Structure 1
Amino acid sequence: MKFDYKFQHILTLKEREKEETYSLYEESVRQFERAAKNLYELLKKKEVLEQFQSEKLETGFSIQKIRHHQLFINNLEETIDYWQKQVMATRNEMKHWEEKLLESNIEVKKYEKMKDKSYKYFQELINTYENNQMDEIAAIQFQHRKGN
């Protein structure tokens, strides 16, 4: 007798959904890491520029160069603002997929647990059937010995 799980097709679909969700989660993590790296590099660049400008102000810096550096820093700040928004958006997307992955894991576990319970029940039925068969064989053998 072969074990046939009645929800195997659903379990297979749930496992496939889980794998797809995991792929989307991994991609969202990569996007978040890229955005965070870009933001970090821009913040570091801004820090270096501000340090450079501060040093030059102490030693003497022309107004034209001060304006040029300040304009560059302002443009850099706008870019930083953009990347901060990107980091937040990618973080939110990453959290979304993480939650979906958690839900998928729970769904798969539910069906796996149901499969395990069903298999145990199936094993009990097989054991009961085999025990009954053995009892019948023993009774028949006993009848044959008694008859002789």
Structure 2
Amino acid sequence: MTFQFAYEHILNLKEKEKEQAFLEYGRLVKQKDQLQADIYLLEQEHDQRNERSQCLTSLLEIQQQSHYMNLLILKIDGAREKLQKMEDELRNRKEKYMQKHKDERMWTFLREKAYDTFLQKEKKIEQEQLDEIATIRHFHQRIKESSQT
């Protein structure tokens, strides 16, 4: 007799849900890393432009530089705001993943307990069969001994 967990389909579903939650979390981490790199580049550009603005002489150049610096600041602020939202979403996704992981572990534990119970029943059946064989053998041996005397 082979072991079959009655709720194997639920366990499989929980494993897939956990996998999906992990993939979503990983995807979001990559997006966050990319956004952080973008913010760093924008800040670098802002600092470089700021240093170069010291050399500007004409009013038009200064106005253009000022306008561009304001745009960079807006981009950096927008990216930081997006990063904050992404970090909040990451926390939510991590919680979701941890819950899926917990669910999957619970169902795996239930399967292991069911498998242990199955093995105990199998051992009990096997022992009963061995006991029966021993009893029959002993009975046949007594019959053989009594017929010889």
Q: Does 1:53 align with 2:53?
A: yes
- 3-state SS of the aligned residue for 1:100? helix
> Which residue identity lines up with residue 52 of structure 2 in the other structure?
F
Cα distance in 2 between the residues matched to 1:3 and 1:65: 79
- Aligned CA RMSD, in angstroms, stands at 1.3
- Letter of the structure 2 residue corresponding to residue 124 of structure 1: Q
Q: Measure the CA separation in 2 of the matches of 1:135 and 1:51.
A: 93
Identity score, percent: 26
Q: For residue 111 of structure 2, what is the amino acid of its counterpart?
A: K
Cα shift readout 1:52-74 (whole Å, capped 9, x = no counterpart): 223x26xxx23332222111111
Write the distance in 1 (CA, Å) between the matches of 2:61 and 2:93.
47
- Whether 2:94 is the aligned partner of 1:98: answer yes
**Matching residue of 1:38:** 38
Mapping 1:119-138, distance limit 5 Å: 119-138=115-134
Cα deviations across residues 12-71 of structure 1 (Å, max 9, x unaligned)? 1101111211221122112212221211110111111112223x26xxx23332222111
Tell me by how many angstroms 1:137 deviates: 0.4
> For residue 26 of structure 1, what is the aligned residue in structure 2?
26
Answer whether contact 1:35 1:90 (CA < 8 A) is retained. Answer: no
Q: Tell me what 1:142 maps to.
A: 138
Higher deviation after alignment, 130-139 or 3-12: 3-12
With normalisation by structure 2, the TM-score equals 0.90
Classify the secondary structure of the residue corresponding to 2:3: coil
Cα offsets for 1:50-105 (capped at 9, x unmatched): 12223x26xxx233322221111111101111111111122222222121111111
Cα distance between partner residues in 2 of 1:72 and 1:102: 44
Q: How many corresponding residue pairs?
A: 144
Alignment of 1:55-94 (within 5 A): 56=55, 61-94=57-90
Residue 142 of structure 1, CA deviation:
0.1
CA distance in 2, matches of 1:83, 1:138: 80
Helix, strand or coil for the counterpart of 1:4?
coil
Summarize deviations over 1:97-130 as a string: whole Å, max 9, x none: 1211111111111111111111111101111110
